[in-house]
Structure 1
């Protein structure tokens, strides 16, 4: 399916921006969602939206000639502690290639086996960027299976030959950055649930939360990201929020593009085995922990519900 939002031709300085809401098992019911935008001097403007029921469309999009930059919502890497402890190859490209060669069943077995004899609290590790963003471990196979999203997504990124800042040098005209909509959601609407894939659990309050989120984004994006957002309200009509999440991925990709001369917005200390989520609020993580004004201890689940808290540092 493809929806057109209107033409954005004629701007002086533009960049093609893609926002991709990923899934570990795409289907017609739960497709990969891609929003196509244009970033000009003043605003990020939506052009069209596509839903991809299989990985063929995703791979084809990655292969299209640039210039473009895509923000994609899945963990591009694993935690250094996990990679080194399990004994996988010591570079991003090598361990991603190794993970892909295991096959889906073998990958699951490797992650399950790793956890089997480890003590509670030391079974699944988070990257530095996960801790900063409040996202779950990229080893997670159940509930929100971001581990399987890594397994399906990262090898395809590697095979496509795109450039991934800090992780892989590929075609400089095709760039992929890791996005995480949860960072924006928490900032704009806090703990409110804004989506659910289960029809019986979809509510009018969630629809209102999506509208509030989009409106807050429009109002605050110029200050927070440095450009305006021009996007239709009907992005909020999708109860699973895949359409809206794709827009949030595009926002983070557009911001990263604006920061391309400054490590695409990542801190100097970015771990080149793990990668980094692109968002201005995560750059504060470059500071020593004792200097942070807060300590994030929150995690978002697949319904968009926040658990945990934000604790002030003394």
Structure 2
């Protein structure tokens, strides 16, 4: 069930959304949404919502509203992988085929692809992985982003949202691929700031979250946006040792940058004009 918040994208002007996604959400590890608004150079965090089932999250996505969202899951597969497997090279047909597969079939196909490639180049990468520093979207472990794509993209499609450069949908609900690690590295390098393992929730990770949050509040990234949160919300981000709320907030800032680009006349929300229409692109990369 979703937790409730006074902030909701169906309550007036267009808002922004940041999503920390889980392909197998539970009450202990839910999907977390950060809801806010772009106010000039400021991203105002209004609330957090949590969903412990994919169905509940899908129902939220399908509600009418006005929002631009950054979602921490891959929206496409590497072209080299898709071509080698003989899957459709057009994004809609490729995603239709991909969603028809079971996770075991995905793992088997991807493992066979990797086994046939030389050491050091087992995985295929998308063009966006280099500038974003992201994991290949075909990875099925540590982190299982292939399963995140398999679980998340069908929800977006079934909800009828608009995916710029990939799929035309409801232009009032816009979904963009985001990646919190991209901004986090700008602010604190490769310091670890989160863990799902209670034994690894150390003072050092708490200090890293504090530095990360302070950097967001100063607007210390190249995006030039400052995060603003009321004290209870700020404390919730800081004390969440899993980092899920903070990751959602990082995606919120990326969504804010995309909305600002749209307000400046960029119909692609900051995505590059030469983006591969099969692979997709991580916004702000």
Q: Is this a same-fold pair by TM over 0.5?
A: yes
DSSP 3-state at the match of 1:259: helix
DSSP 3-state at the match of 2:34: strand
What is the match of residue 112 of structure 2? 113
For residue 150 of structure 1, report the CA deviation from its aligned partner: 1.0
What is the match of residue 252 of structure 1? 254
Alpha-carbon distance change, 7 to 99 in structure 1, aligned in 2, over 3 angstroms: closer
Which is worse superposed, 40-49 or 172-181? 40-49
For residue 267 of structure 1, report the CA deviation from its aligned partner: 2.0
Unaligned runs of 5+ in 2: none
Alpha-carbon distance change, 164 to 185 in structure 1, aligned in 2, over 3 angstroms: same
For residue 90 of structure 1, report the CA deviation from its aligned partner: 1.2
Give the 4+ runs in structure 1 shifted more than 4 A: 3-8
Alpha-carbon distance change, 164 to 145 in structure 1, aligned in 2, over 3 angstroms: same
Verify the 8 A CA contact 2:225 2:253 in the aligned structure 1. no
Alpha-carbon distance change, 35 to 228 in structure 1, aligned in 2, over 3 angstroms: same
Of residues 274, 285, 295, the one that matches 2:279 is 274
Q: How many angstroms apart in 2 are the aligned matches of 1:240 and 1:20?
A: 14
DSSP 3-state at the match of 2:108: helix
Unaligned runs of 5+ in 1: 283-314
Verify the 8 A CA contact 1:15 1:40 in the aligned structure 2. no
For residue 6 of structure 1, report the CA deviation from its aligned partner: 7.4
1:144 aligns with 2:143: yes
For residue 226 of structure 1, report the CA deviation from its aligned partner: 4.2
For residue 4 of structure 1, report the CA deviation from its aligned partner: 4.2
DSSP 3-state at the match of 2:125: coil
Verify the 8 A CA contact 2:193 2:208 in the aligned structure 1. yes
Matches within 5 A, 1:43-192: 43-192=42-191
Q: How many angstroms apart in 1 are the aligned matches of 2:85 and 2:194?
A: 35
Verify the 8 A CA contact 1:44 1:254 in the aligned structure 2. yes
Alpha-carbon distance change, 5 to 209 in structure 1, aligned in 2, over 3 angstroms: farther
Q: How many angstroms apart in 1 are the aligned matches of 2:45 and 2:209?
A: 17
Point out which structure has higher relative CO (alpha carbons under 8 A, 6+ apart): 2
For residue 5 of structure 1, report the CA deviation from its aligned partner: 7.3
What is the match of residue 3 of structure 2? 2
Verify the 8 A CA contact 2:7 2:35 in the aligned structure 1. no
Q: How many angstroms apart in 2 are the aligned matches of 1:7 and 1:67?
A: 10
What is the match of residue 202 of structure 2? 203
Q: How many angstroms apart in 1 are the aligned matches of 2:209 and 2:103?
A: 34
Q: State the TM-score, normalized to the length of structure 2.
A: 0.90
Alpha-carbon distance change, 43 to 3 in structure 1, aligned in 2, over 3 angstroms: farther
Deviations 1:79-104 (A, max 9, x none): 11111111111111111110111122
Q: How many angstroms apart in 2 are the aligned matches of 1:56 and 1:130?
A: 29
Which is worse superposed, 226-235 or 61-70? 226-235
Q: How many angstroms apart in 2 are the aligned matches of 1:206 and 1:5?
A: 30
Q: How many angstroms apart in 2 are the aligned matches of 1:49 and 1:233?
A: 11
Q: How many angstroms apart in 2 are the aligned matches of 1:114 and 1:74?
A: 22
Verify the 8 A CA contact 1:179 1:249 in the aligned structure 2. yes
Q: How many angstroms apart in 1 are the aligned matches of 2:52 and 2:95?
A: 24
Which is worse superposed, 253-262 or 203-212? 253-262
